Structure 1
Amino acid sequence: MRLPEVERGDSLRSRALIRIISAALGARLPDAARVAFYHKNFVGTALGAWTQRAMRGPSEWSVAERELMAAMVAKWNSCPFCVGAHRAVAVRGMDKAVADACLTDYRTAPISDQLRATLAVLETMTLHPDELQAAQARAATAAGVTRRQLVDASAVAALFNIITRYANALDFAIPTDAEFDKAAAMMLKRGYA
Protein backbone atom coordinates (compact mmCIF):
# COMPACT_ATOMS: atom_id res chain seq x y z
CA MET A 1 0.00 0.00 0.00
CA ARG A 2 1.51 3.30 -1.08
CA LEU A 3 1.07 5.94 1.62
CA PRO A 4 0.58 9.49 0.31
CA GLU A 5 2.66 10.87 3.19
CA VAL A 6 5.61 8.73 2.13
CA GLU A 7 5.23 9.83 -1.48
CA ARG A 8 5.09 13.55 -0.80
CA GLY A 9 6.61 13.85 2.69
CA ASP A 10 4.79 14.26 5.98
CA SER A 11 6.03 17.78 6.78
CA LEU A 12 6.90 20.95 4.92
CA ARG A 13 10.60 20.31 5.64
CA SER A 14 10.39 16.73 4.28
CA ARG A 15 8.57 17.90 1.16
CA ALA A 16 11.23 20.51 0.49
CA LEU A 17 14.07 18.02 1.05
CA ILE A 18 12.47 15.45 -1.26
CA ARG A 19 12.16 18.09 -4.01
CA ILE A 20 15.70 19.41 -3.55
CA ILE A 21 17.33 15.98 -3.46
CA SER A 22 15.28 14.78 -6.46
CA ALA A 23 16.39 17.86 -8.41
CA ALA A 24 20.05 17.33 -7.44
CA LEU A 25 19.79 13.64 -8.31
CA GLY A 26 18.10 14.42 -11.62
CA ALA A 27 15.57 11.67 -10.86
CA ARG A 28 12.77 10.84 -8.48
CA LEU A 29 14.12 10.27 -4.97
CA PRO A 30 13.77 6.50 -4.39
CA ASP A 31 11.09 5.37 -1.97
CA ALA A 32 13.65 3.99 0.49
CA ALA A 33 14.95 7.53 1.04
CA ARG A 34 11.41 8.92 1.12
CA VAL A 35 10.53 6.52 3.95
CA ALA A 36 13.55 7.82 5.89
CA PHE A 37 11.98 11.30 5.73
CA TYR A 38 8.58 10.00 6.80
CA HIS A 39 7.77 10.11 10.49
CA LYS A 40 11.20 9.51 12.04
CA ASN A 41 9.72 6.99 14.48
CA PHE A 42 8.76 4.70 11.57
CA VAL A 43 12.28 3.81 10.43
CA GLY A 44 14.08 6.51 12.31
CA THR A 45 17.57 7.16 13.44
CA ALA A 46 18.19 3.73 14.99
CA LEU A 47 17.53 1.85 11.73
CA GLY A 48 19.68 4.33 9.81
CA ALA A 49 22.54 3.90 12.27
CA TRP A 50 22.25 0.10 12.16
CA THR A 51 22.22 0.14 8.36
CA GLN A 52 25.22 2.47 8.22
CA ARG A 53 27.18 0.25 10.60
CA ALA A 54 26.29 -3.00 8.82
CA MET A 55 26.85 -1.68 5.30
CA ARG A 56 29.67 0.84 5.73
CA GLY A 57 31.26 0.14 9.09
CA PRO A 58 34.55 -1.72 9.57
CA SER A 59 34.33 -5.25 8.19
CA GLU A 60 36.42 -7.92 6.54
CA TRP A 61 33.76 -7.83 3.78
CA SER A 62 34.05 -5.09 1.18
CA VAL A 63 31.21 -2.63 0.70
CA ALA A 64 30.46 -4.31 -2.65
CA GLU A 65 30.24 -7.75 -1.01
CA ARG A 66 27.88 -6.47 1.67
CA GLU A 67 25.73 -4.75 -0.95
CA LEU A 68 25.63 -8.03 -2.89
CA MET A 69 24.53 -9.82 0.28
CA ALA A 70 21.72 -7.27 0.65
CA ALA A 71 20.71 -7.86 -2.98
CA MET A 72 20.70 -11.62 -2.41
CA VAL A 73 18.46 -11.31 0.67
CA ALA A 74 16.20 -9.08 -1.42
CA LYS A 75 16.11 -11.70 -4.17
CA TRP A 76 15.17 -14.43 -1.68
CA ASN A 77 12.44 -12.14 -0.30
CA SER A 78 11.15 -11.24 -3.79
CA CYS A 79 11.86 -7.53 -3.36
CA PRO A 80 12.68 -6.08 -6.79
CA PHE A 81 13.31 -2.59 -5.43
CA CYS A 82 16.04 -3.79 -3.04
CA VAL A 83 17.55 -6.17 -5.61
CA GLY A 84 17.93 -3.29 -8.06
CA ALA A 85 19.11 -0.76 -5.50
CA HIS A 86 21.77 -2.95 -3.87
CA ARG A 87 22.92 -4.58 -7.10
CA ALA A 88 23.51 -1.06 -8.46
CA VAL A 89 25.77 -0.25 -5.51
CA ALA A 90 27.52 -3.64 -5.60
CA VAL A 91 28.51 -3.32 -9.27
CA ARG A 92 30.31 -0.08 -8.51
CA GLY A 93 32.82 -2.18 -6.54
CA MET A 94 32.79 -5.51 -8.36
CA ASP A 95 32.45 -6.88 -11.85
CA LYS A 96 28.86 -6.56 -13.06
CA ALA A 97 28.97 -10.05 -14.59
CA VAL A 98 30.02 -11.54 -11.25
CA ALA A 99 27.21 -9.78 -9.38
CA ASP A 100 24.66 -10.86 -11.99
CA ALA A 101 25.95 -14.46 -11.97
CA CYS A 102 25.64 -14.48 -8.19
CA LEU A 103 22.08 -13.17 -8.34
CA THR A 104 21.28 -15.88 -10.89
CA ASP A 105 22.85 -18.69 -8.81
CA TYR A 106 25.49 -18.02 -6.19
CA ARG A 107 26.39 -21.72 -6.10
CA THR A 108 27.88 -21.53 -9.61
CA ALA A 109 28.94 -17.86 -9.67
CA PRO A 110 32.66 -17.00 -9.88
CA ILE A 111 32.94 -15.83 -6.26
CA SER A 112 35.22 -16.80 -3.41
CA ASP A 113 34.54 -19.95 -1.41
CA GLN A 114 34.13 -17.73 1.66
CA LEU A 115 31.39 -15.63 0.05
CA ARG A 116 29.65 -18.72 -1.35
CA ALA A 117 29.66 -20.42 2.09
CA THR A 118 28.40 -17.24 3.73
CA LEU A 119 25.59 -16.85 1.21
CA ALA A 120 24.52 -20.43 1.95
CA VAL A 121 24.15 -19.48 5.63
CA LEU A 122 22.28 -16.28 4.73
CA GLU A 123 19.96 -18.16 2.39
CA THR A 124 18.95 -20.54 5.17
CA MET A 125 18.67 -17.64 7.61
CA THR A 126 16.33 -15.88 5.17
CA LEU A 127 14.23 -18.70 3.72
CA HIS A 128 14.34 -21.41 6.40
CA PRO A 129 15.40 -19.84 9.71
CA ASP A 130 14.13 -22.83 11.69
CA GLU A 131 16.68 -25.00 9.86
CA LEU A 132 19.70 -22.81 10.67
CA GLN A 133 22.16 -24.88 12.71
CA ALA A 134 25.68 -24.61 14.06
CA ALA A 135 26.83 -27.11 11.42
CA GLN A 136 26.26 -24.47 8.75
CA ALA A 137 28.43 -21.98 10.61
CA ARG A 138 31.11 -24.68 10.98
CA ALA A 139 30.92 -25.38 7.24
CA ALA A 140 31.41 -21.67 6.55
CA THR A 141 34.40 -21.46 8.89
CA ALA A 142 35.85 -24.58 7.24
CA ALA A 143 35.63 -22.65 3.95
CA GLY A 144 37.73 -19.88 5.51
CA VAL A 145 35.01 -17.53 6.80
CA THR A 146 35.97 -15.86 10.06
CA ARG A 147 33.63 -15.52 13.01
CA ARG A 148 33.65 -11.73 12.49
CA GLN A 149 32.66 -12.19 8.83
CA LEU A 150 29.72 -14.39 9.86
CA VAL A 151 28.59 -11.83 12.43
CA ASP A 152 28.85 -8.99 9.90
CA ALA A 153 27.04 -10.96 7.18
CA SER A 154 24.31 -11.97 9.63
CA ALA A 155 23.78 -8.30 10.50
CA VAL A 156 23.33 -7.50 6.79
CA ALA A 157 20.86 -10.36 6.38
CA ALA A 158 18.87 -9.52 9.52
CA LEU A 159 18.62 -5.90 8.47
CA PHE A 160 17.52 -6.62 4.92
CA ASN A 161 15.06 -9.27 6.03
CA ILE A 162 13.32 -6.31 7.70
CA ILE A 163 13.87 -3.68 5.02
CA THR A 164 12.74 -5.88 2.11
CA ARG A 165 9.48 -6.60 3.88
CA TYR A 166 8.63 -2.96 4.46
CA ALA A 167 9.72 -2.11 0.89
CA ASN A 168 7.27 -4.70 -0.40
CA ALA A 169 4.55 -3.72 2.09
CA LEU A 170 4.81 -0.06 1.08
CA ASP A 171 4.90 -0.97 -2.63
CA PHE A 172 8.14 0.87 -3.42
CA ALA A 173 8.25 2.16 -6.99
CA ILE A 174 10.91 0.46 -9.11
CA PRO A 175 13.30 3.00 -10.67
CA THR A 176 14.92 2.52 -14.05
CA ASP A 177 18.44 1.09 -14.23
CA ALA A 178 19.75 4.61 -14.87
CA GLU A 179 17.91 5.92 -11.79
CA PHE A 180 19.23 3.04 -9.68
CA ASP A 181 22.73 3.91 -10.91
CA LYS A 182 22.36 7.58 -9.93
CA ALA A 183 21.03 6.59 -6.52
CA ALA A 184 23.94 4.12 -6.10
CA ALA A 185 26.43 6.95 -6.60
CA MET A 186 24.62 8.95 -3.92
CA MET A 187 24.55 5.95 -1.53
CA LEU A 188 28.27 5.37 -1.90
CA LYS A 189 28.97 9.04 -1.26
CA ARG A 190 26.51 9.70 1.58
CA GLY A 191 25.94 6.29 3.16
CA TYR A 192 22.81 5.24 5.02
CA ALA A 193 22.63 7.31 8.21
Structure 2
Amino acid sequence: MRLTEVERGDSFRSRALIRVISLALGMRLPDAARVAFYHKDFVSPALGAWTQEVMRGPSEWSVGERELMGAMVAKWNSCPFCVGAHRAIAVRGVDPAVADACLEDHRTAPIAEPLRATLSVLETMTLHPDRLHGADMKEAMAAGATRAQLKDAAAVGALFNIITRYANALDFAIPTDPEFDKAAVMMLKRGYA
Protein backbone atom coordinates (compact mmCIF):
# COMPACT_ATOMS: atom_id res chain seq x y z
CA MET A 1 0.00 0.00 0.00
CA ARG A 2 1.52 3.31 -1.05
CA LEU A 3 1.13 5.89 1.70
CA THR A 4 0.34 9.45 0.66
CA GLU A 5 2.78 10.65 3.32
CA VAL A 6 5.66 9.30 1.22
CA GLU A 7 4.70 11.94 -1.35
CA ARG A 8 3.25 14.64 0.87
CA GLY A 9 5.49 14.69 3.92
CA ASP A 10 4.80 15.86 7.43
CA SER A 11 6.39 19.32 7.55
CA PHE A 12 7.09 22.24 5.29
CA ARG A 13 10.82 21.98 6.16
CA SER A 14 10.98 18.30 5.10
CA ARG A 15 9.15 18.98 1.86
CA ALA A 16 11.41 21.94 1.06
CA LEU A 17 14.57 19.95 1.83
CA ILE A 18 13.41 17.07 -0.36
CA ARG A 19 12.70 19.49 -3.23
CA VAL A 20 16.15 21.04 -2.93
CA ILE A 21 17.86 17.63 -2.85
CA SER A 22 15.75 16.41 -5.78
CA LEU A 23 16.71 19.50 -7.81
CA ALA A 24 20.39 19.03 -6.96
CA LEU A 25 20.23 15.36 -7.99
CA GLY A 26 18.23 16.16 -11.09
CA MET A 27 15.74 13.44 -10.15
CA ARG A 28 13.01 12.57 -7.69
CA LEU A 29 14.54 11.70 -4.31
CA PRO A 30 14.09 7.93 -3.82
CA ASP A 31 11.37 6.81 -1.44
CA ALA A 32 13.84 5.33 1.08
CA ALA A 33 15.24 8.83 1.68
CA ARG A 34 11.78 10.37 1.63
CA VAL A 35 10.57 8.05 4.38
CA ALA A 36 13.69 8.78 6.42
CA PHE A 37 13.07 12.54 6.13
CA TYR A 38 9.33 12.39 6.70
CA HIS A 39 9.00 9.83 9.43
CA LYS A 40 11.86 10.09 11.85
CA ASP A 41 9.72 8.19 14.35
CA PHE A 42 9.23 5.35 11.82
CA VAL A 43 12.73 5.15 10.37
CA SER A 44 14.38 6.38 13.49
CA PRO A 45 17.91 7.68 13.92
CA ALA A 46 18.69 4.30 15.55
CA LEU A 47 17.94 2.44 12.29
CA GLY A 48 20.04 4.93 10.35
CA ALA A 49 22.92 4.56 12.79
CA TRP A 50 22.67 0.76 12.68
CA THR A 51 22.62 0.82 8.88
CA GLN A 52 25.63 3.14 8.80
CA GLU A 53 27.60 0.88 11.15
CA VAL A 54 26.69 -2.33 9.29
CA MET A 55 27.24 -0.98 5.78
CA ARG A 56 30.10 1.50 6.31
CA GLY A 57 31.69 0.57 9.63
CA PRO A 58 34.88 -1.45 10.03
CA SER A 59 34.63 -4.89 8.44
CA GLU A 60 36.70 -7.50 6.67
CA TRP A 61 34.12 -7.15 3.87
CA SER A 62 34.45 -4.19 1.51
CA VAL A 63 31.63 -1.68 1.15
CA GLY A 64 30.93 -3.15 -2.31
CA GLU A 65 30.69 -6.68 -0.92
CA ARG A 66 28.31 -5.61 1.85
CA GLU A 67 26.17 -3.70 -0.64
CA LEU A 68 26.11 -6.81 -2.84
CA MET A 69 24.98 -8.84 0.17
CA GLY A 70 22.18 -6.31 0.70
CA ALA A 71 21.16 -6.62 -2.95
CA MET A 72 21.17 -10.40 -2.65
CA VAL A 73 18.92 -10.36 0.43
CA ALA A 74 16.66 -7.96 -1.46
CA LYS A 75 16.55 -10.37 -4.39
CA TRP A 76 15.56 -13.26 -2.11
CA ASN A 77 12.87 -11.03 -0.57
CA SER A 78 11.60 -9.92 -4.01
CA CYS A 79 12.32 -6.24 -3.36
CA PRO A 80 13.13 -4.61 -6.71
CA PHE A 81 13.76 -1.20 -5.13
CA CYS A 82 16.48 -2.53 -2.84
CA VAL A 83 17.99 -4.78 -5.51
CA GLY A 84 18.38 -1.79 -7.83
CA ALA A 85 19.55 0.62 -5.16
CA HIS A 86 22.14 -1.64 -3.56
CA ARG A 87 23.38 -3.16 -6.81
CA ALA A 88 24.03 0.40 -8.01
CA ILE A 89 26.14 1.06 -4.91
CA ALA A 90 27.84 -2.36 -5.01
CA VAL A 91 29.15 -1.86 -8.55
CA ARG A 92 31.19 1.09 -7.32
CA GLY A 93 33.41 -1.51 -5.61
CA VAL A 94 32.58 -4.80 -7.33
CA ASP A 95 32.87 -5.42 -11.07
CA PRO A 96 29.36 -4.93 -12.55
CA ALA A 97 29.55 -8.21 -14.49
CA VAL A 98 30.47 -10.05 -11.29
CA ALA A 99 27.66 -8.36 -9.35
CA ASP A 100 25.16 -9.28 -12.06
CA ALA A 101 26.43 -12.88 -12.21
CA CYS A 102 26.09 -13.07 -8.45
CA LEU A 103 22.54 -11.72 -8.56
CA GLU A 104 21.78 -14.31 -11.22
CA ASP A 105 23.21 -17.20 -9.15
CA HIS A 106 25.89 -16.76 -6.51
CA ARG A 107 26.71 -20.47 -6.69
CA THR A 108 28.16 -20.09 -10.21
CA ALA A 109 29.32 -16.45 -10.09
CA PRO A 110 33.05 -15.74 -10.36
CA ILE A 111 33.49 -14.75 -6.70
CA ALA A 112 35.82 -15.86 -3.92
CA GLU A 113 34.78 -18.98 -2.01
CA PRO A 114 34.42 -17.20 1.37
CA LEU A 115 31.90 -14.78 -0.20
CA ARG A 116 30.06 -17.59 -1.99
CA ALA A 117 29.76 -19.61 1.24
CA THR A 118 28.66 -16.52 3.17
CA LEU A 119 25.98 -15.75 0.59
CA SER A 120 24.71 -19.31 0.97
CA VAL A 121 24.39 -18.69 4.72
CA LEU A 122 22.50 -15.44 4.03
CA GLU A 123 20.23 -17.22 1.57
CA THR A 124 19.28 -19.81 4.20
CA MET A 125 18.93 -17.09 6.83
CA THR A 126 16.55 -15.19 4.54
CA LEU A 127 14.51 -17.94 2.92
CA HIS A 128 14.66 -20.77 5.47
CA PRO A 129 15.74 -19.36 8.85
CA ASP A 130 14.47 -22.46 10.63
CA ARG A 131 17.04 -24.51 8.69
CA LEU A 132 20.04 -22.37 9.65
CA HIS A 133 22.37 -24.25 11.99
CA GLY A 134 25.89 -24.11 13.34
CA ALA A 135 26.94 -26.57 10.65
CA ASP A 136 26.22 -23.88 8.05
CA MET A 137 28.68 -21.56 9.78
CA LYS A 138 31.30 -24.30 10.04
CA GLU A 139 30.91 -24.99 6.33
CA ALA A 140 31.36 -21.30 5.52
CA MET A 141 34.42 -21.14 7.75
CA ALA A 142 35.84 -24.24 6.03
CA ALA A 143 35.44 -22.29 2.76
CA GLY A 144 37.56 -19.49 4.22
CA ALA A 145 35.06 -17.12 5.82
CA THR A 146 36.12 -15.81 9.23
CA ARG A 147 33.92 -15.51 12.31
CA ALA A 148 34.11 -11.73 11.98
CA GLN A 149 32.98 -11.91 8.34
CA LEU A 150 30.06 -14.17 9.24
CA LYS A 151 29.05 -11.86 12.09
CA ASP A 152 29.16 -8.83 9.79
CA ALA A 153 27.25 -10.68 7.05
CA ALA A 154 24.60 -11.74 9.56
CA ALA A 155 24.16 -8.07 10.48
CA VAL A 156 23.71 -7.18 6.80
CA GLY A 157 21.20 -10.02 6.44
CA ALA A 158 19.21 -8.99 9.51
CA LEU A 159 19.18 -5.36 8.43
CA PHE A 160 18.04 -6.08 4.88
CA ASN A 161 15.43 -8.58 6.00
CA ILE A 162 13.85 -5.60 7.79
CA ILE A 163 14.48 -2.90 5.18
CA THR A 164 13.25 -4.92 2.20
CA ARG A 165 10.00 -5.67 3.97
CA TYR A 166 9.21 -2.04 4.70
CA ALA A 167 10.26 -1.01 1.17
CA ASN A 168 7.81 -3.57 -0.23
CA ALA A 169 5.12 -2.73 2.32
CA LEU A 170 5.32 0.97 1.45
CA ASP A 171 5.45 0.19 -2.29
CA PHE A 172 8.57 2.22 -2.96
CA ALA A 173 8.67 3.63 -6.49
CA ILE A 174 11.36 2.05 -8.67
CA PRO A 175 13.80 4.60 -10.14
CA THR A 176 15.39 4.13 -13.54
CA ASP A 177 18.91 2.68 -13.74
CA PRO A 178 20.45 6.15 -14.29
CA GLU A 179 18.51 7.43 -11.26
CA PHE A 180 19.73 4.50 -9.16
CA ASP A 181 23.28 5.40 -10.29
CA LYS A 182 22.87 9.04 -9.22
CA ALA A 183 21.46 7.98 -5.86
CA ALA A 184 24.34 5.50 -5.41
CA VAL A 185 26.89 8.29 -5.76
CA MET A 186 24.98 10.30 -3.14
CA MET A 187 24.78 7.31 -0.76
CA LEU A 188 28.51 6.66 -1.02
CA LYS A 189 29.23 10.30 -0.15
CA ARG A 190 26.52 10.79 2.46
CA GLY A 191 26.21 7.36 4.06
CA TYR A 192 23.12 6.07 5.85
CA ALA A 193 22.97 7.96 9.13
TM range (shorter): over 0.9
Q: Which residue of 1 aligns with 2:89?
A: 89
Which residue of 2 is the match for residue 124 of structure 1? Answer: 124
Aligned to 2:43: 43
Q: Gapped runs of 5+ residues in structure 2?
A: none
Aligned equivalent of 2:30: 30
CA distance in 2, matches of 1:90, 1:125: 21
Structure 1's consecutive aligned runs of 4 or more residues displaced over 3 angstroms after TM superposition are none
2:146 maps to which residue? 146
Q: Which runs of 5+ in 1 are unaligned?
A: none
Report the CA distance between 1:8 and its aligned residue.
2.4
Map of 1:190 onto structure 2: 190
TM-aligned CA deviation for residue 10 of structure 1: 1.1
1:71 aligns with 2:71: yes
Q: Which residue of 1 aligns with 2:15?
A: 15
> Hey, what's the Cα distance between the residues in 2 that align with 1:78 and 1:43?
21
Contact (CA 8 Å) 1:67, 1:87: kept in 2 or not?
Answer: yes
CA contact (8 A) 1:9 1:18 kept: no
1:78 alignment partner, SS class: coil
> Which whole-Å deviations, capped at 9, do the CAs of 1:3-45 have from their partners, x for residues lacking one?
1112122111110111011011110000000010122110110
Q: How many residues in Structure 1 have an aligned counterpart in Structure 2?
A: 193
Calculate percent identity across the aligned residue pairs: 81
2:136 is aligned with what amino acid?
Q
* Secondary structure, counterpart of 1:155 in structure 2: helix
Structure 1 stretch 60-69 or stretch 1-10: which is displaced more? 1-10
The answer (yes or no) to whether the contact 1:22–1:28 under 8 Å persists in 2 is yes
Deviates more, 1:33-42 or 1:44-53: 33-42
Taking the aligned partners of 1:48 and 1:183, their CA distance within structure 2 comes to: 17
Can you list the C-alpha shifts for 1:104-155, whole angstroms capped at 9, x where unaligned? 0000000000000000000000000000000000001111111110010000
The residue type equivalent to 1:92 in the other structure is R
Provide the residue aligned with 1:156 in structure 2.
156
Q: Distance in 2 between matches of 1:124 and 1:11?
A: 41
SS of structure 2 residue aligned to 1:108? coil
